[in-house]
Chains A and B, each alone.
Chain A
């Protein structure tokens, strides 16, 4: 049985208003934009069969090689649509205005896409990587029957949570489920704080969580999210594909803050450290730190599945409820880089 938060994630969708790029308009008048609802856990190429009918009579002759951009910024098709939206629209824009291109694929920037097959391959590949992180091998994914794998993929494509809930246990990614859901189910937030388990030897237990972190850095200060500058290239976004070591210590709750800190140590509050080699003094809010040590940047926003997250949220809840169907948790972070 899937819980309510997971249902919300699966039903989450972004209204898109899709324009045909003006260089590809071969009809008069130009076609009106297409309106489609894009599932958060889905991928842009999967929408092509819905979008193409709107534009097929307007296209110049030639072969299709479809890609999307947002304000001229090419969108990576292998990132779930909801993550792209969270990352690129600090202030959510509804409908989200995207441009579709049927020609001129930017193959120096984007990995080639052969439609649904590529997207499925990307999904299974991520699933394997997640299994390797969680279980230490990807045998359960490799050994899944072709028809089960096909059905699992279809459930994701169709947003069919019931089918997914029936099939995904065959992947036996049990560690996460057992370790976390048991705790969340029998404990209130208070008891969870003190309820961390120790194993027999009294050691701290760890689990590895598949996380993809997207960090957008902005080097000027801004008050409101709508004032964030536009993105010009993917080089303004750092991507960390690195497992989070989930630590259980007695009397401590491992929070989202702990997880983000383990990936971005230089950005979290007073425990932050910067490279000694840098030797530069950084200032935060215009003031130097007491001991004159280098100052840090600042996390302005952490967003997962469209939710602006409180960093105190227990990480086990975040993982169990907000991960994508390939068992990866995608976290979008907006940071202000240190002033120099």
Chain B
């Protein structure tokens, strides 16, 4: 398959890149469960003849916000930056919730045909299945990602419908992805700006994963 030069993937390219990414993840990130490929054959009685269509899924990831920083410290550092004054009034209550409850996250990597890039969808929920609001989720995010979300006008979280599950999920908006992937591929290979399809999702996730606190190992980029 031709290398990527314009920052975009085709549907077929996504399928190839997704499998390569899942393989590398399994080999180099053994502390995490593997990503699984969810094929979209026969969804809701429709029969897809595109066998390559599907998405990557990593579910029930337990995230402890205290791994990054202690909750007190995080709330001091982070709150004034992204919360309005009115909202920070309930802040103490929310922090208590964060401390007391286990939070689980599901992550899906879905191809966007409109933007020609992968999109990270995610949702958080408590052990009883109750969904987490964005305000609560932001407290679970590493503080570095909060600043990333603030600095870059292209990286932001929105709540939208999961394209295949018919339910509200959060996603990192893909409208800037093509541009920063181009920059990334220029930096990685001296001179040219080409990236093998197999490395696309690894490079992409090295940026996107950080936002949600999932880091990839350096070996994966080789």
Contacts and interface: CB of A to CB of B under 8 A. Distances in A.
Residue of B43, B51, B158, B161 with most chain A CB atoms under a 10 A cut-off: B161
B49 A241 contact: no
Nearest to B46: A238
A239 B166 contact: yes
A234 B42 CA distance: 16
Interface stretch (A9-17, A41-49, A167-175, A272-280): A272-280
Given A129-B114, A243-B114, A275 B166 contact: no
A217 B49 contact: no
Interface stretch (A32-40, A107-115, A176-184): A107-115
A154 to B, nearest CB: 23
Contacts of A264: 46
A138 B167 CA distance: 26
A107 B133 CA distance: 10
Given A210-B114, A217-B45, A241-B113, A275 B51 contact: yes
B168 A217 contact: no
A108 B131 contact: yes
Nearest to B6: A136
A196 interface: no
Nearest to B41: A275
Interface in B68-127: 113-115
Nearest to B115: A132
Contact of B168 (A110, A215, A236, A337): A110
B115 A111 contact: no
Contacts of A210: 114
A274 B114 contact: no
B175 interface: yes
B131 A266 contact: no
A133 B113 CA distance: 9
Interface string A216-258: 0101000000000000001111110111000000000000000
A236 B47 contact: no
Contacts of A215: 46
Given A132-B115, A133-B114, A234-B166, A217 B175 contact: no
B159 interface: yes
B163 interface: yes
Interface in A99-149: 107-112, 125, 128-129, 132-133, 138
Contacts of B45: 217, 219, 238, 337
Given A111-B159, A111-B160, A238-B44, A273 B49 contact: yes
Q: Provide the main secondary structure of the chain B interface.
A: loop
Contacts of B48: 266, 275
Given A132-B175, A236-B44, A238-B46, A108 B113 contact: no
B46 A111 contact: no
Interface in B146-204: 158-161, 163, 166-168, 175
A235 B131 contact: no
A265 interface: yes
A338 interface: yes
B21 to A, nearest CB: 22
Contacts of B51: 275, 277
A107 B131 contact: yes
B44 A237 contact: yes
A235 B113 contact: no
Contacts of A109: 166-168
Contact of B47 (A125, A138, A234, A274): A274
B158 A125 contact: yes
A112 B41 contact: no
Contacts of B159: 111-112
A238 B43 contact: yes
8 contacts: A108-B131, A128-B175, A129-B114, A217-B45, A265-B49, A266-B48, A277-B41, A297-B47
Closest 7 CB pairs of A and B: A242-B113, A217-B45, A234-B166, A337-B45, A111-B168, A266-B47, A238-B44
Interface of B: 41-49, 51, 113-115, 131, 158-161, 163, 166-168, 175
Given A111-B161, A215-B46, A275-B47, 19 more contacts: A112-B159, A129-B175, A133-B114, A219-B45, A234-B166, A235-B44, A235-B166, A238-B43, A238-B44, A238-B45, A239-B161, A241-B113, A242-B114, A264-B46, A275-B41, A275-B48, A278-B42, A297-B47, A337-B46
